[in-house]
A = this chain, B = another copy of it.
Amino acid sequence: MKIPPVKGTRDFYPPDMAVRNWVIDGWKRVSVRNGFEEYDGPMFEYLKMFQIKSGDEIVEQLFSLQDRGGRDLALRPEITPTLARMVNQRINSLPKPIKWFSVPRLFRAERPQKGRLREFFQWNIDIIGVESGIGKCLADAEVIFTTVDYLRQIGLTSKDIKVKISNRELLADYLRSLGIPEDKLESVYIVLDKKNKLPSETFEQMLGEQVQDKKTVNKIIDFMTVDSMPQLEEIVQLKSESDEYSPYLDIKMVLDYLDTMGVGDFCIYDPSIVRGLAYYTGIVFEVHDVAGELRAICGGGRYDNLLRDFGGPAISASGMGMGDRVLEILLEEKGLLGEQVPKKQLEYFVVYLGDFVKEVWQVVEKLRSMEYSTNFSYKVGGPSKQLKEASAQKAKKCIIIGDEELEQNKISVKDMATGEQELKDYDKFFAELK
């Protein structure tokens, strides 16, 4: 009986696994050198957890299941609610700031499409518990720096990708200054978030439905198309009473820091980055391919209310999430996977002439104990068949053992790339390997 895999999931054969491991190992290494510590939570949580953060609409995008007591659970579509739960559980004993990363496997019950699968991996970094204003800017810059630090390390340049940075608070202040009432802000955000995905006429029309006044609509559109900091400064100063306009200074400071850290060429101010989610409260950002052909590679920002929403204290937080799927599509398009992902390679293949002898096991065990990946044939065929098997397994070297060699306490070592074969003293060979 043949059964297919479930649609939207992936089988990781060894070559696919090599790509996955290379991506995840890179995420981990960059996280560690940037001072983050790894955590993880369960694959499923009570369904309520995800409703708290994303509302009831999330439910139909979740794989739901039940425990034995009939309680509703769901496979995690993101790890942030788990992070909030875990931090709240130990809020008093954890030293602040909490600087954590994770590479959870996540699930979405959506229809699979390009760059979106039902099962995927996501790199998450978060900095929690930074209280001062300048500290928050430092933390926001750290999150963005760490993100770029990974992307540039795998070979992407500022010609390939851009970090588009904006500030939800700045936008909110600007909208307020235009007279948009507080309870309208959320629905205006939702429209603004669609700006880059809609034809401009449709966008204007949708915005007009939220904001009746034509002049105000135009002002918002002007604000949303600002593409430099001097231009922003002009608009902001028009609207602001003093130079102490903090949301503007925040974004300026974050951009300055990123410049100082050497990743300024990756970063631009882009007010069209709104991020639909209600929970962002300050700096928000997305990384996009410059060609604009793919979904966002990653996104994140400041979310200072989430821990409180999960029953904890009002404590600040800033974070980023990057899925593996869009990233891999981009890297494949740029030809950056082939060179960098380690190829399968076996260090040694031990070949025996004549019957299988105990000395084969001994040589194999010796090599393995020295961390050399080593195989031999289970097929009990002649030496040429064994050498073929060694080639198929991409062995770098073969060790050939026969009665004659054993009597003289010698082994033959064959280099599989050059074909050269050398007779070596058994003990000397192993002594030299050490």
Binding site for B on A (CB under 8 A): 1-7, 9-14, 17-18, 20-21, 29, 32-35, 37-46, 48-49, 52, 63-65, 67-68, 73, 75, 82, 85-86, 88-90, 95, 97, 99-100, 105, 107, 109, 111, 119, 127, 130-132, 134-136, 138-139, 142, 145, 149, 257, 260-262, 309-311, 344, 346, 356, 358, 361-362, 364-365, 368, 371-375, 378-380, 392-393
Contact = CB atoms under 8 A, between A and B. Distances in A.
A310 B371 CA distance: 36
Contacts of A380: 132, 134-135
A7 B69 CA distance: 11
A52 to B, nearest CB: 6
A317 to B, nearest CB: 12
Given A6-B73, A68-B109, 18 more contacts: A1-B52, A4-B46, A6-B46, A11-B82, A11-B89, A14-B39, A17-B37, A34-B368, A37-B344, A63-B73, A127-B378, A130-B378, A130-B379, A131-B379, A136-B378, A138-B356, A260-B358, A261-B365
Contacts of A392: 95
B17 A40 contact: yes
A14 B100 contact: yes
A14 B37 contact: yes
A1 to B, nearest CB: 5
A35 B375 contact: yes
| Residue in A17, A29, A95, A311 whose Cβ sees the most chain B Cβ within 10 Å | A17
A9 B134 contact: no
Given A11-B42, A95-B393, A375-B99, A311 B1 contact: yes
A25 to B, nearest CB: 11
CB-based closest 8 A-B pairs: A9-B42, A2-B311, A35-B375, A135-B378, A14-B37, A12-B40, A260-B358, A130-B378
